[in-house]
Amino acid sequence: FIKHEMENYVERAERIRNGMVDPSVDNMLKITNEARLLGTDPRLINKEAINESDSKVNRCIENIYEEYKKSESVKGTQIVFCDVGTPNSDGRFSVYDSIKAELINKGIFENEICFIHDAKNEIQREEIFSDMRSGNKRIIIGSTPKIGTGTNIQDRLTALHHLDCPYRPSDIEQREGRILRQGNINPEVNIYRYVTKDTFDSYLWQIVEQKQKFISQIM
């Protein structure tokens, strides 16, 4: 499915480059956004797509579970960043719900997993953060805008997972600033970056790297 979709994106890009398509109908931004979804999980493009056992979502689930077991003695916590496939009520595939369901299947208690999107106001948001600091909640899944800044939950963090690639170097900095900061009781932490082979993933990470080099040169 991934290979077929990527070939489709190449054909669409050729038509756009040759001026054969009205930009309001199809454009490179649209293709990039769809390719980003495909690289995260093909079910974001087609709900009926096969859930490959070696997909990056499933690799991420395995890593979360291993980190969970490994840090049991300190009630270690983890952040999973994903800016696409967020929870929804309109029946679209949700990466968040899929990860949560699989972790529960592995034996992690449902009340130890939370979505930042569950917080409907500042009070609920602070309650989630407090539960993360105490280790009552062990895994939080969220997007860069919602937990990228102003999030004080570093106390027990043992691992951070970049399930997708954000658009700006500053977003990566914001994400990793949640775990790489004073007040964390763990002397070492793990940061995971996931890339799906033969998709736009490596291209997106390269773009962020090039942007960062350019910014660094100016600074």
Residue 8 has pLDDT above 80, yes or no: yes
pLDDT band at 211 (very low <50, low <70, confident <90, very high): confident
Over residues 120-127, mean pLDDT:
93
- Predicted TM-score (pTM) of this structure: 0.90
Q: For residue 131, what are the contacts with CB-CB under 8 A and spacing of at least 6?
A: 114, 137
Name which of 9-18, 57-66, 125-134, 208-217 the model is least confident about: 208-217
Per-position DSSP letters for 26-37, written without gaps between them: --HHHHHHHHHH
Give dist(CA 149, CA 97) in Å, integer: 23
Evaluate whether 175 touches 81 at the Cβ level (below 8 Å): yes
Give dist(CA 18, CA 14) in Å, integer: 6
Which tens digit of pLDDT belongs to each residue from 54-111?
A: 999 999 999 999 999 999 999 999 999 999 999 998 889 999 999 999 999 999 999 9
Name which of 43-57, 101-115, 201-215 the model is least confident about: 201-215
